[in-house]
Amino acid sequence: MISPVMQQDAINRKAWRSWGARRWFRILSDWTDPGEAAAVASVADMVRDEPILDVGVGGGRTVPLLRRVSDDYQAIDYMQEMVDLCSRNHPDVRVRQMDARDLSAYADNSFGLIVFSFNGIDAVDYPGRQAILREFARVLRPGGRLIFSSHNMEGPSYRETLTRFLQVPRWSNNPLRFGFNVARIVVNLPLAAINYRRNSRLNHEFDGYAVRVCAAHKFGIVIVYTELEHQRRELAEFGFETDAVYGNLDDQPLAAGQPLHDVMWFHFVARKP
């Protein structure tokens, strides 16, 4: 029998490999949200011109955004398809195929800043996530910063079900546009239903985090959702201090006791002491 961990990896790789995902990653170019921009701005002056490792680079959305901080920039992704896509989009950038769970190609204390953006770490199974944090703690220099985003277990994405795909098609006076809106629902709903049913089998809640099918890619990915305090504690276990946590909704760090029900995901800004 295939273990749930292997299944999660296989399911997510299939989703990244899909035509839709590659097309999407090819055209993305800006910050995902104000919280991401603020998280990077909060560390920019502390790691200016230092080596940056951009993990899970996808099509290279973050390449120009992070090169504003330092030109000493390199990226990795474990999917060769993404490495090729990023290299095509940014021919002057060093991109290597590498799994973040094993960064043995890099010496200890190599980087001033490591970024794993757009909740990429959530797609990795939980033991893999811990291996990644251990590797980040090793290859980051003392005083270096780590930024990554992760889905909020109390947030709207965690509550999403198939009803998300049960929409009335958006009206348009342009018959072609309206036909497209109808076709999109007719095609997406059965695909989402099949994925939802199949991938929900991996849903499981643990103490402080959960593994659950996510509506992105038509319920085609299974990801880790975390509670804010759980992730803070886990970062501390791997030797990090959390400087700040931003939500996706605005550019202000989350305050203690702030309601988190509308926050889709967090941007953690952590430091290796």
Ligand X SMILES: C[S@@+](CC[C@H](N)C(=O)[O-])C[C@H]1O[C@@H](n2cnc3c(N)ncnc32)[C@H](O)[C@@H]1O
| Binding interface with ligand X (CB under 6 A) | 16, 25, 28, 55-58, 61-62, 76-79, 82, 99-101, 117-120, 123-124
Q: How far is the CB of 173 from ligand X (least distance, A)?
A: 34
Q: How far is the CB of 210 from ligand X (least distance, A)?
A: 18
Provide the residue type at 40 as one letter. Answer: V
Q: How far is the CB of 219 from ligand X (least distance, A)?
A: 15
The secondary element (H helix, E strand) that includes residue 192 is: helix 175-199
Provide the residue type at 86 as one letter. Answer: C
Q: What are phi and psi of 142, to 5 degrees?
A: -55, 135
Closer to ligand X at the Cβ: 136 or 165?
Answer: 136
Radius of gyration of the chain measured on its C-alpha atoms: 19
Nearest to 269 by CA among 138, 146, 149: 146
Closer to ligand X at the Cβ: 5 or 185?
Answer: 5
Q: How far is the CB of 131 from ligand X (least distance, A)?
A: 9
CA pair distance 228, 214, nearest whole angstrom: 18
Contact, 53 vs 107, CB < 8 A? no
Closer to ligand X at the Cβ: 11 or 192?
Answer: 11
Contact, 252 vs 263, CB < 8 A? no
Closer to ligand X at the Cβ: 101 or 230?
Answer: 101
Q: How far is the CB of 160 from ligand X (least distance, A)?
A: 17
Look up residue 154 and give its DSSP letter.
T
Closer to ligand X at the Cβ: 87 or 181?
Answer: 87
